[in-house]
């Protein structure tokens, strides 16, 4: 109960307060492999393989089937075709309620089978991306991820790191960074 209260307090305090994620723009994004689900079907997501196909838009979210995370997943699902049209791979990653990710990936109220979500037990991937959830008054990060989005170039360079517990602007931020990068590529 204390953990739920602390999470709710954190969300209320940080909602609408953007901050930079710790993995800086221009740094190299770590490669990883993780159990993932697309439309309820399991597969192994491989970041290095995804980058070979183009840029990757990856967003960390605290937990499946929570208000803000449901909204964020739904917004990304509505934009999934546009990300694909930009040549990007879209993936969500969470440490929360990983046992429900198959359901979450297929649910029309969340991902709608339009993009995969990967399990991150213990927030190990989030920690390599400097995106674990940090809570006021707790020195060590909890084993959940913050609401942090990244756009990663095919060479692994971080193009955008956006950290904001409010769920409603991550699509706009990632799409804007992706389009700006694509425009620069056309000029080369």
**141-151 pLDDT, tens digit each:** 568 899 999 99
Residue in the structure block whose two tokens are 């992706």? 178
Mean pLDDT of 4-26: 49
| H helical segments located in 15-164 | 47-52, 67-85, 101-106, 124-128
SS3 41: strand
Q: How far is CA 15 from the centre of its chain?
A: 17
**76-132 pLDDT, tens digit each:** 999 999 999 999 999 999 999 999 999 999 999 999 999 999 999 999 999 999 998
Q: Which two tokens stand for residue 40?
A: 């309820």
- Percent of the chain topping pLDDT 70: 85
Least confident of 38-42, 54-58, 130-134, 137-141: 137-141
Distance, in Å, from the CA atom of 159 to the CA atom of 142, rounded to the nearest integer, reads 26
């Amino acid at each position: 109960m204390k953990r739920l209260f602390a999470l709710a307090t954190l969300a209320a305090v940080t909602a609408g307060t953007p901050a930079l994620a710790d993995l800086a723009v221009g740094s190299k994004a770590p490669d990883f492999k993780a159990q993932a689900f697309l439309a309820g079907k399991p597969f192994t997501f491989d970041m290095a393989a995804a980058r070979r196909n183009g840029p990757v838009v990856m967003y960390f979210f605290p937990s499946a089937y929570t208000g803000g995370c449901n909204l964020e997943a739904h917004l990304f699902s509505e934009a999934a075709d546009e990300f694909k049209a930009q040549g990007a791979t879209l993936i969500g990653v969470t440490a929360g309620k990983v046992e429900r990710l198959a359901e979450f990936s297929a649910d029309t109220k969340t991902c709608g089978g339009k993009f995969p979500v990967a399990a991150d037990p213990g927030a190990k991937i989030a920690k390599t991306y400097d995106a674990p959830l940090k809570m006021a008054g707790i020195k060590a990060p909890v084993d959940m991820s913050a609401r942090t989005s990244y756009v990663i170039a095919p060479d692994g360079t971080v193009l955008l790191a956006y950290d904001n517990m409010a769920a409603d602007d991550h699509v706009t931020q990632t799409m804007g960074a992706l389009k700006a990068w694509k425009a620069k590529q056309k000029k080369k």
